[in-house]
Structure 1
Amino acid sequence: MTSTIRASVVPFVIEAEGTGVAQTLTSQGDNKHVFETDAYPAFGGKDEAPSPLFYALGSLTSCNQVTAALVAKDLGITLGTFSFTVQGDLDTLVLVKGEEGNANFDKVSVRATVETDATDEQFSTFVSEIERRCPVTQLFVRSGLEFDNQWTRADLS
């Protein structure tokens, strides 16, 4: 999977092995991180590790936080503690029963609160820039699902 790429492009590579619906995944790079996935029994798993769907939603929160740090630096604002709640609504009829339709989430809702010294105007710019610049947010937005992204500003403690 090697190709010539621009210097600004960082390749993210995962290798995985598994049986049934469970996998062990290893990220490649300087520090190899190993993680497990499984599925609910209704999907053929034993529920012994998070579902790939939980990882997808978790990647949304953590990528938003990483992107927020980059955007805050660009805007010259300070950030404190973050809290996120993300919900993905998945109709399982395509996945489990093989029915026609889209196997994607129907809707994903993000509720984020971040402590910051940003003014209301800066916070509005901050939130729109996070949505525009976050690769995982863009995966969800561009997939065509209903994406509800609401951020709340809290004072720095």
Structure 2
Amino acid sequence: MPIKQTVPFVVDAEGSGVAQRLVVAGDHEHVFTADTYPSFGGDDAAPSPLSYLLGALTSCNQVTGSLVASSLGIALGKWSFHIQGDLDPSVIAGGAEGNANFDRVAVKVTVETDAADDVFETFHAETERRCPVTQMFKRSGLAYTSEWSKAPLPA
């Protein structure tokens, strides 16, 4: 049986109040900050962790989709995403019993491509199957919907 290989993703963070400075380890250090809305105790000086989570969903789909497209032999152009996550703040902010997760996440994706309709459906399904962030959302139990459409590649 072959040995399963893994790739470590490492983030170190420090902060005070609800704001943080985060550093991604690796060959090229990447630094980003997180804060939150005033209603959650922040100054709205940086994106909230939940905004980063939804952003991770868009970018992970684009990375994974690029890999899938390569294996299918299709060309891709511009990607456009619109994602909405609906959160009941009563658990995180008020301490209510219940699930602190999003209740629902709706994803709309448009991709410029030369793929035929049947190949685009395979591309969409395979991208969502192979995308780690999509799978985290889907397996979390929230109501997850996605709507993928294709646009022609520019001439």
The TM-score with structure 2 as length reference comes to 0.96
The CA distance in 1 between the partners of 2:82 and 2:130, in whole Å, is 20
The CA distance in 2 between the partners of 1:135 and 1:7, in whole Å, is 16
Give the equivalent residue in structure 2 for 1:112.
109
**TM superposition shift of 1:9:** 1.0
Give the equivalent residue in structure 1 for 2:123.
126
The CA distance in 1 between the partners of 2:146 and 2:7, in whole Å, is 27
Give the equivalent residue in structure 2 for 1:17.
14
Q: Of 82, 90, 95, which residue of structure 1 is paired with 2:79?
A: 82
**TM superposition shift of 1:15:** 0.1
Cα-to-partner distance string for 1:59-116 (whole Å, 9 max, x where unaligned): 0000000001000001000001110000000000000000000000000011000000
Give the equivalent residue in structure 2 for 1:41.
38
Give the equivalent residue in structure 1 for 2:139.
142
Whether 2:60 is the aligned partner of 1:67: answer: no
Whether 2:24 is the aligned partner of 1:27: answer: yes
Alignment partner of 1:95: what SS?
coil
The count of residues paired between Structure 1 and Structure 2 equals: 152
**TM superposition shift of 1:7:** 6.6
Runs of at least 4 residues off by over 6 Å? none
| Residue identity in the other structure for 2:68 | V
- Name stretches of at least 5 consecutive residues in structure 2 with no aligned partner: none
The CA distance in 2 between the partners of 1:141 and 1:32, in whole Å, is 30
The CA distance in 1 between the partners of 2:152 and 2:104, in whole Å, is 30
The CA distance in 1 between the partners of 2:9 and 2:143, in whole Å, is 27
Alignment partner of 2:93: what SS?
helix
> Percentage identity across aligned positions?
61
Give the equivalent residue in structure 1 for 2:52.
55
| Residue identity in the other structure for 2:83 | V
The CA distance in 2 between the partners of 1:58 and 1:76, in whole Å, is 27
Q: CA RMSD in A?
A: 0.8
The CA distance in 1 between the partners of 2:138 and 2:119, in whole Å, is 23
